[in-house]
Amino acid sequence: MNEVYPMLSVEEARRRILEHFQPLEPERIPIMEALDRVLAEDVVAEMDIPPLPNTAMDGYAMRVADVAEASPEKPARLKVVADLAAGYVLEEPIQPGTAVRIMTGAPIPPGAEAVVPFENVEVDGDEVLVFKPYATWKNIRHAGEDVKAGQVVLPKGKTLRPQEIGMLAALGRPTALVHRRPRVAVLSTGDEVIDITDPWQPGKIRDANGYTVSALIRKYGGVPIRMGIAPDTIEALTDKIREALDAGADFILTSGGVSMGDFDVVKKVLAKEGEMHFWRARMKPGKPMAFGEIQGVPLLGLPGNPVSSTISFELFARPAILTMLGKKKLEKPLIDAILVDAVKRKDNRRHYLRVWLEEKDGQTYAHLTGDQGSGILLSMVQADGLAIISEDLNSTPPNFPVKVMILDWPEVA
Ligand code: AMP
Ligand code: MG
């Protein structure tokens, strides 16, 4: 099997996986449910924003000719004829020698050409004194200065952040057309694996992966379909996978059963029921992994060790889910840090070390989170990120510069 399926670089494994994914079909949903989803249509403005010219300041709207000669010594005197709050319009054109008291956001009355802010006038009974000339449009927001009718405001492919949700509301759109969320089946394998509330017995361990993987799916915008635990038999696993297909899974994620042991059945089931594309990537943790498809539905067999399955998820399942959601930016951002601890290793795999980060004197320092074994759940619990050590380094000295993939970067774009 090893000759037929060579060990792939992380990039090549990722490329071969992502070839099998594309954005899912669109659905129309209320905008309050559309946060973090990706638009499947161009959103075009039907009217200008703001729709009417309006005042940017609380002040007095007036004709610029009436204050053209105004000076501190000879202020112009204008009679205040109306009071206009935001939300109302005056239809009467403003007459020479008069002003309208107007609040921020209120539409400019016909004939008014500028707004004198409250702080620049003196009030004298029902008159105001203006002490200098004003240019036309001073303190007035133009109609359409933000958005013009007919403009593509939000292009197809854009991820909806809170500001885009607000823009949709401003445009009068209660709904948005977005790519639907992928349904991702989650299946743990192993005779030794039991669920949270099952009574513990010697030889058994609780299913951590089923829960981590489901939470990761949700975190990155998918809908987990929990299939429970399959014992290590071809029949049991095949049945569970059929159930996942019947449940309409767009993607199936298993954990465990992908290495070289006697009971590693995921690869066997993939080969028997569908097609296996590859099964190893040159990385640590997480070398064993299986990727294939059954009835046209991609299946990624994550490793059984909890740290390995989480890291493999981040590297391979996450970009697949993001692709189905219509996202284009699939990489997690990397930051520069100094890896304080020395690392000794001898294989030619890329290492993803669990680190916690510390800021000191404008520099980011990364510290190993203790034991880096692929079964050490606490190494992930304490981690802020994964320090990446390239495959061509056999060891690194203390204080070595590294790139760190931040685990909890907000997911945008
Ligand atoms: P496997 O790849 O199936 O040989 O599993 C590798 C290691 O991961 C074994 O020690 C398993 O007991 C452990 N393991 C497998 N599945 C899970 C799981 N769902 N939760 C926690 N540990 C697991
Ligand atoms: Mg197993």
Confidence label for 214 from pLDDT (cuts 50, 70 and 90): very high
Confidence label for 89 from pLDDT (cuts 50, 70 and 90): very high
* Section 242-251 average pLDDT: 98
List CB-based neighbours of ion ligand 2 within 5 Å. 190, 256-257, 304
Average pLDDT, the chain: 95
- Residue 319 sits in the same domain as residue 343: no
Which atom of ligand 1 is found nearest the CA of 308? 8
- Residue 216 sits in the same domain as residue 321: yes
| pLDDT value at 113 more than 80 | yes
- The alpha carbon of 73 and the centre of ligand 1 are apart by a number of angstroms equal to 88
> Is the C-beta atom of 209 inside 6 A of ligand 1?
yes
Residue 11 lies in a domain: no
Helix (H, G, I), strand (E, B) or coil at 60: strand
Residue 17 lies in a domain: no
Count of domains forming the chain:
4
- The alpha carbon of 270 and the centre of ligand 1 are apart by a number of angstroms equal to 19
Residue 13 lies in a domain: no
* Section 80-107 average pLDDT: 97
- Look at residues 107, 68, 113 and name the one whose alpha carbon lies nearest to residue 94: 113
* Section 298-306 average pLDDT: 96
* Section 324-340 average pLDDT: 95
Q: Which ligand gives the minimal distance to the CA of 301?
A: 1
Q: What is the CATH number of the domain that holds 108?
A: 2.170.190.11
Q: What is the CATH number of the domain that holds 159?
A: 3.90.105.10
Select from 325, 348, 383 the last residue of a domain.
Answer: 325
**Residue 355 contacts residue 340 (beta carbons within 8 Å):** no
| pLDDT value at 311 more than 90 | yes
> Would you state the pLDDT for residue 252?
98
> Is the C-beta atom of 310 inside 6 A of ligand 1?
no
Q: How far, in Å, CA of 366 to CA of 56, rounded?
A: 49
Residue 2 lies in a domain: no
Which atom of ligand 1 is found nearest the CA of 208? 20
- Residue 36 sits in the same domain as residue 158: yes
- Residue 294 sits in the same domain as residue 222: yes
- Residue 304 sits in the same domain as residue 366: no
Please name the residues in contact with 178: beta carbons below 8 A apart, sequence gap of 6 or more: 26, 27, 28, 29, 34, 37, 38, 39, 40, 160, 326
> Is the C-beta atom of 176 inside 6 A of ligand 1?
no
Cis peptide before 410 (omega within 30 of 0): no
> Would you state the pLDDT for residue 413?
47
Ligand 1 probe mutation, 205, 268, 300, most atoms within 8 A of CB:
205
- Residue 295 sits in the same domain as residue 195: yes
- Residue 235 sits in the same domain as residue 258: yes
- The alpha carbon of 379 and the centre of ligand 2 are apart by a number of angstroms equal to 21
Residue 398 lies in a domain: yes
- The alpha carbon of 375 and the centre of ligand 2 are apart by a number of angstroms equal to 13
Helix (H, G, I), strand (E, B) or coil at 33: helix
> Would you state the pLDDT for residue 66?
98
Ligand 1 probe mutation, 213, 300, 305, 312, most atoms within 8 A of CB:
305
Confidence label for 348 from pLDDT (cuts 50, 70 and 90): confident
pLDDT tens digit sequence for 357-373 = 999 999 999 999 999 99
- Residue 173 sits in the same domain as residue 196: no
Ligand 1 probe mutation, 187, 191, 193, 374, most atoms within 8 A of CB:
193
* Section 327-336 average pLDDT: 94
- Residue 288 sits in the same domain as residue 306: yes
Residue 129 lies in a domain: yes
> Would you state the pLDDT for residue 125?
96
Select from 325, 350, 370 the last residue of a domain.
Answer: 325
> Would you state the pLDDT for residue 3?
53
Q: Hey, whose CA ends up nearest to atom 16 of ligand 1?
A: 304
- Residue 313 sits in the same domain as residue 189: yes
> Is the C-beta atom of 212 inside 6 A of ligand 1?
no
Give the global pTM: 0.93
| pLDDT value at 188 more than 90 | yes
Q: What is the CATH number of the domain that holds 195?
A: 3.40.980.10
* Section 153-177 average pLDDT: 98
Range of the domain at 299: 181-325
* Section 98-122 average pLDDT: 97
- Residue 99 sits in the same domain as residue 195: no
- The alpha carbon of 258 and the centre of ligand 1 are apart by a number of angstroms equal to 10
- The alpha carbon of 389 and the centre of ligand 1 are apart by a number of angstroms equal to 25
* Section 212-222 average pLDDT: 98
In the chain, the percentage of residues whose pLDDT exceeds 70 is 98
Write the DSSP symbol of residue 136: T
Q: Hey, whose CA ends up nearest to atom 23 of ligand 1?
A: 304
| pLDDT value at 1 more than 60 | no
* Section 257-275 average pLDDT: 88
Residue 1 lies in a domain: no
Select from 325, 353, 371 the last residue of a domain.
Answer: 325
Residue 242 lies in a domain: yes
- Residue 340 sits in the same domain as residue 301: no
Paired residues of 27 in beta bridges = 178
Q: What is the CATH number of the domain that holds 352?
A: 2.40.340.10
| pLDDT value at 410 more than 70 | no
Which atom of ligand 1 is found nearest the CA of 258? 2
Phi-psi bin for 328: left (phi > 0), alpha (psi -120 to 50), beta? alpha
- The alpha carbon of 255 and the centre of ligand 1 are apart by a number of angstroms equal to 7
Which long-range CB contacts under 8 A does 144-148 form with residues at least 24 apart?
144/48, 144/49, 144/50, 145/50, 146/49, 146/50, 147/45, 147/48, 147/49, 147/171, 148/45, 148/48
